[in-house]
Amino acid sequence: MLDEQFYMVAKTFQGLEEVLAQEIRGLGVQDIEILNRAVRFKGDLKILYSANYRLRTALKVLVEVESFPAKNDIELYQGIQKIDWVRFLEHSMSLAVECVLFSDHFSHSQFIAQRTKDAVVDQFRDRTGKRPSVDRENPDLLISIHIQDTKVNVLLDSSGTSLHKRGYRSQLHLAPVNEVLAAGLLLLAGWNGKGNLFDPMCGSGTFLIEGAMIAMNIPPGTFRPNFGFEKWKNFNPDLFTEVADQVEQNANFKYKIVGSDKSSKSLQLARESIHRSFLDKKIELVHESIEDFIPPAGGGIMITNPPYDERIKVENILGLYRLIGDRMKHFYKGYQAWIFSGNPEAMKSIGLHPSKKIPMLNGPIECSFRRYDIYEGSKKAKYQKPQSR
Ligand SMILES: C[S@@+](CC[C@H](N)C(=O)[O-])C[C@H]1O[C@@H](n2cnc3c(N)ncnc32)[C@H](O)[C@@H]1O
């Protein structure tokens, strides 16, 4: 179905492309090209399975099938019909098509998806007398069409549901950080399990769980019920088992991972997800407000995303960020503190000078990921007068 070596595209969040490329290098891949919100790379079926199972910062892994020029839906239809779809499909399988459009030559992505589906189904019927069915919710083969100007790229989605769906969440928090984004922020922060980790506003515990999985080398795909490629014609279960068995987990993680939140409801969600990921013994939860929480001694990394006053409304948002800054200055010595927020105004109220500022996007919200070094002993954290309201 696929040649020995083929090109794949892993999609990610804006700002995480370098981190993703680094992860892909870690799979042993050399042929890598960084794109906008994506990384393109070459590999074989084993790399495809590994990419889905092991990449913490990939949202999807797509396989390139063909590309051709087209200026209208007739040329699109003809281009799709030239592909040998019997290589990828059987009449008993279902398909769906999604389309991403950056072109003035085509106006409706839904129409393009429809024409692509027609071209595949017509070819099948003409050649075999039978046709595959369409299942938009849970297809056996998801075809992804990307059109940039007049260039049509035809790809197959090997992941199925987005890879941020790790399989450890039962219910959603009101404002959870996406699992892929959380893992990417932890890797950007240099988290490698050599020290303590805490989140004083942990919500449903995403940073804690992703942090523990990184520290213990637990692959992000461990708890996922399935991947798209498992329904493909060429699925090789032995190879997939080999990929999963190849990972050596690190059970010797000796530091502390602690989360706290003022909301008992949030902590309940965190507890459930921690339990579902078998990390109950590795992560400690405390029901405390940031006003009272004291981190474990010994230093390490603090990472948190406080409310932005968007989805979670806060009465005095500047006062809350000022309080975070005060707690950091007085109680987080020896820690490198990282704050991810979509409220730059409020971030100024932290009143400490960030040693690093990384612009990021969280969905449509422009965010900033900032590092504050809180030194032990004589070297004090650089202090800025907080802005008053
Ligand atoms: C944006 S959410 C964090 C979401 C979390 N990263 C997750 O993935 O689920 C912010 C959290 O801050 C908590 N919070 C707000 N004010 C707090 C305070 N003063 N002390 C501790 N937690 C607080 C809220 O209960 C909420 O769970």
195 and 85 in a common domain: no
Q: Is 177 in the pocket of ligand 1 (CB under 6 A)?
A: yes
- Name which of 343, 332, 274, 356 is nearest 305 in CA terms: 343
Instruction: Find the DSSP H helices in the chain.
Output: 17-26, 45-54, 73-81, 109-128, 179-188, 206-215, 237-246, 264-276, 317-331, 344-348
Is the distance from the beta carbon of residue 203 to the nearest atom of ligand 1 less than 6 Å?
yes
Does ligand 1 come within 6 angstroms of the Cβ of 204? yes
CATH of the domain at 135: 3.30.2130.30
Same domain, 104 and 184: no
Specify the number of domains making up the chain.
Answer: 2
Q: Which helix (H) or strand (E) holds 369?
A: strand 365-373
Listed as ranges, residues in the chain with pLDDT below 70 are 1, 311-312, 376-389
- Could you tell me the CATH number of the domain that includes residue 359? 3.40.50.150
Do 212 and 316 share a structural domain?
yes
With respect to residue 236, please indicate whether it lies within any of the assigned structural domains: no
Decide: 290 in ligand 1 pocket, CB within 6 A: yes
**150 with 187, same domain?**
no
Residues 129 and 194 in one domain: no
Residue 203, helix vs strand vs coil:
coil
Domain identity same for 71 and 202: no
pLDDT for res 368: 96
Q: Closest ligand 1 atom to the C-alpha of 269?
A: 9
Q: Is the CB of 304 under 6 A from ligand 1?
A: no
Which of 186, 198, 262, 349 for a ligand 1 pocket mutation test, highest count of atoms within 8 Å of Cβ? 262
Give buried/exposed letters for 138-175 (b at 16+ CB in 10 A, else e). Answer: ebbbbbbbbbeeeebbbbbbbbbbebbbbbbbeeebeb
| Residue 19 shares a structural domain with residue 142 | yes
The confidence score (pLDDT) of residue 107 equals 87
Query: Distances in Å between the alpha carbon of 374 and those of 289, 302, 310, 328?
Result: 20, 10, 28, 7
Radius of gyration of the chain (CA): 23
**Pair (215, 275) in one structural domain:** yes
What whole-number distance in Å separates Cα of residue 266 and Cα of residue 270?
6
For residues 150 and 26, membership in a common domain is answered with yes
Smallest CA-to-CA distance from 260 within 216, 292, 282 is with 292
Domain membership flag for residue 48: yes
Domain range for residue 135? Answer: 6-157
**Residue of 173, 201, 304, 320 to mutate, ligand 1, most atoms within 8 A of C-beta:** 201
